[in-house]
Structure 1
Amino acid sequence: MLLTEAELKRVANASRGHRAASIVLKEEMAAATARSSFDVFLSHSFKDAEIVLGVKRIFEELGFTAYVDWIEDSQLDRTKVSSATAELLRTRMRQSKTLIYVHSNNSPGSRWMPWELGFFDGFRTAVAVLPVAKNSSETFSGQEFLGLYPYIDGTGPAFLFMNRGTAPRSRIGSVSSTANLTFAKSWLKEFTATK
């Protein structure tokens, strides 16, 4: 079962409570300035900002650190392709253990996502696709090159699983229990070691 836009938006909104989005963003940026390494680099379309914030929250609840460019490096202009932006993104990808490609209906229009995927795959290869569906009855087909990578699905945002072709699904973790944080960290270690 794929995660849906509505589920991820609920997670994003629940995480900020009654605080304004601008206040939450300032808090995120202040916390991010001290980080020099990340468990997860979230490759995404900027048009999916609210969805990506929900994905970030889910991974953080599993005990991972997640890089999102417009939070950690708010000075970047994602609408323009430049060598300075590319170099900063390369640095951030080198600082990350894995790349999660957040695939939505907006992904095919992104200038940066295919480039990030190609760079990271050539550099570290610990890549997975997280397809985001409009509704829960959708299945994942994506662009043909995405079939090269395992993908993440779940029974809602609380339980995540990794799918690798015909191999059995492996559980990433559950945000419902702190005991699962150790499991999620061991999943990341195993996933990055096999790549």
Structure 2
Amino acid sequence: MVEKAKEQSGLDEDRLFEKHSGGIITYADVFISYSYRDDKIIPLALSLLLEKEGCKVYLPKLFSRKKGKTPTKLDIELTHSALSVSSSLVLVNGPETTRSQWIPWEIGFVAGKTGKVCVFDVGDDEKKPRNSEFLNLYPKIHPLESKIIVDNSKSIMDWVYDKDNLYK
């Protein structure tokens, strides 16, 4: 997916990520939460796949998430604004997820607002995050033939807008 997008746009991976991340939005079906310490190719590929399925996606920029930098008030306001207008959150659960200070806040915000949080596990069993039992509360998403399926039963868009099944 990313290779095709790079080829079509003529942009390298870094510029493609910049093009598809951040900005001011008025609504999003999905907010993608991820650790900047993990490879950014996964959140970018997930964003492109979700967009292909018709989702309006918000992929946060890296801004002050870098190690040793304190987030600015603007960073926090931009993230808060994006979370406020997002219907759901997909966590890219990579090896560095449990080290993120942003992810628990982002999950808590959307879980409290809409209850629509799901998890996309990345990596093999050896690289999966440890001490993240709370993530088992949320449904898992899986790519299936170029589509995103939630808990092997619903398309991502059906899940996002199903008001009867929170946390499922």
Query: What range is the shorter-chain TM-score in?
Result: 0.7 to 0.9
Cα offset for 1:119?
A: 1.8
Q: What TM-score does the superposition give when structure 2 sets the normalisation length?
A: 0.79
Quickly say closer, same or farther: Cα 1:111–1:189, change in 2 above 3 A.
Answer: same
Letter in 2 for 1:170: S
Aligned residue pair count:
160
Partner SS for 1:77: helix
Q: Which runs of 5+ in 2 are unaligned?
A: none
Question: Quick one: structure 1 residues 102 and 81, their matched pair in 2 at CA, closer, same or farther if it must change by over 3 Å?
Answer: same
Q: Which of the residues 38, 43, 54 maps onto 2:45? A: 54
* Structure 1: runs of 5 or more not aligned: 1-10, 164-168, 173-183
- Which residue of 16, 23, 34 maps to 1:24? 16
> Which one scores higher on RCO, CA 8 angstroms, separation ≥ 6?
1
Asked if structure 2 preserves the Cα contact closer than 8 Å seen for 1:103 and 1:142, the reply is no
Q: Distance in 1 between matches of 2:134 and 2:158?
A: 28
> Normalised by the size of structure 1, how large is the TM-score?
0.69
Q: Which amino acid letter does the alignment assign opposite residue 54 of structure 1? A: A
CA contact (8 A) 2:97 2:129 kept: no
Query: How far did 1:139 drift?
Result: 8.7
Q: Deviations over 1:98-117 (max 9, x none)?
A: 01111011212222111211
AA partner of residue 165 (structure 2): T
> Per-residue displacement from partner, 1:101-143 (whole Å, max 9, x unpaired)?
11011212222111211122122211111111248xx999871
Equivalent position of 2:147 in the other structure = 159
State how far apart, in whole Å, the 2-side matches of 1:107 and 1:139 are. 9
Q: For structure 1, which segment, 54-63 or 102-111, has the greater mean C-alpha deviation from structure 2 after superposition?
A: 102-111
AA partner of residue 147 (structure 1): N
User: Displacement of 1:25 after TM fit?
Assistant: 4.5
Q: Does 1:41 align with 2:24?
A: no
